[in-house]
């Protein structure tokens, strides 16, 4: 069964940049796309440009669980928490 992970970020104003995964994390996503485990990263932004959603849909729960355990994913998560806290960006992660 497919599993979708949404990272939702809400920034205080448009002068603050959203967190963007680093090259290692993006390369890991590309690796999963090339292996047929996910369809890739989809980015949507609200009309007021204050909320961004990054979505990844994985083909199986196993693919998603393996992705969460990747070193690059764990490192990116820690960087995201640090960046968002320091830039007053509220965020949540939804698993659907």
pTM tops 0.75: yes
Residues 6+ apart with CB under 8 A from 96: 3, 4, 5, 6
Provide the residue range defining the domain that includes 46.
3-95
Q: State the CATH number of the domain containing residue 19.
A: 3.30.70.100
Q: Residue 89: what pLDDT?
A: 98
Q: Residue 18: what pLDDT?
A: 98
Per the structure, the count of domains in the chain is 1
d(CA 25, CA 75) in angstroms, rounded, equals 8
d(CA 90, CA 9) in angstroms, rounded, equals 6
Q: Residue 69: what pLDDT?
A: 97
Chunked into runs of 10 residues, the chain (96 residues) has average pLDDT values of 96 98 96 97 98 98 97 97 98 96
């Amino acid at each position: 069964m497919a599993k979708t992970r949404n990272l939702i970020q809400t920034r205080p104003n448009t002068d603050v940049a959203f967190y963007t995964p680093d090259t290692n994390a993006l390369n890991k996503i590309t690796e999963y796309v090339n292996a047929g485990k996910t369809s890739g990263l989809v980015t949507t932004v609200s009309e007021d440009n204050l909320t961004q959603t990054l979505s990844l849909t994985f083909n199986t729960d196993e693919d998603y669980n393996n992705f969460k355990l990747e070193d690059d994913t764990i490192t990116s998560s820690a960087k995201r928490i640090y960046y968002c806290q320091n830039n007053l960006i509220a965020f949540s992660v939804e698993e659907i």
